[in-house]
């Protein structure tokens, strides 16, 4: 996940407030968080550690998720999306109007 600073601070505070039995969630989210800077052309360098953790090899997708972004390995995303589409229940969207 990639957060703009204000959204990260909100998310960080929610994670930090989790109870003691959620220490590993705190370690995963807070312990692996990294600040990154954009270069002169607006690119962000994702560290090798974060690329490895997300199994990002080459082709990626950046998805806007409202308050944050998700950065995916394209092949992983495509496989997960196919699974989700196959398991979707159209009734779950019955109250959503377009």
- List the chain domain ranges: 5-87
Q: Residues 79, 68, 54, 23: what is their CA dihedral angle, to the nearest 10 degrees?
A: -120
pTM of the model: 0.74
Question: Which pLDDT tens digit goes with each residue over 74-94?
Answer: 999 999 999 999 998 888 888
Q: Tell me which fold the domain 5-87 belongs to.
A: Chemotaxis protein chec (3.40.1550)
Q: If you search the block for the tokens 């109870």, which residue do you land on?
A: 19
Residues 6+ apart with CB under 8 A from 36: 44, 45, 46, 47
Q: What percentage of the chain carries pLDDT values higher than 70?
A: 100
DSSP state for residue 32 in the 8-state scheme:
T
């Amino acid at each position: 996940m990639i957060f703009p600073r204000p959204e990260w601070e909100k998310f960080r505070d929610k994670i930090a407030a989790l109870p003691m039995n959620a220490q590993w969630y705190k370690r995963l989210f807070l312990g692996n968080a990294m600040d990154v800077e954009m270069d002169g052309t607006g690119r962000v360098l994702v560290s090798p550690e974060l690329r490895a953790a997300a199994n990002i090899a080459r082709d990626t997708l950046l998805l806007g998720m409202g308050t944050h972004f998700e950065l995916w390995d394209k092949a992983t995303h495509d496989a997960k999306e196919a699974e989700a589409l196959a398991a979707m229940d159209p009734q779950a969207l019955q109250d959503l109007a377009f």
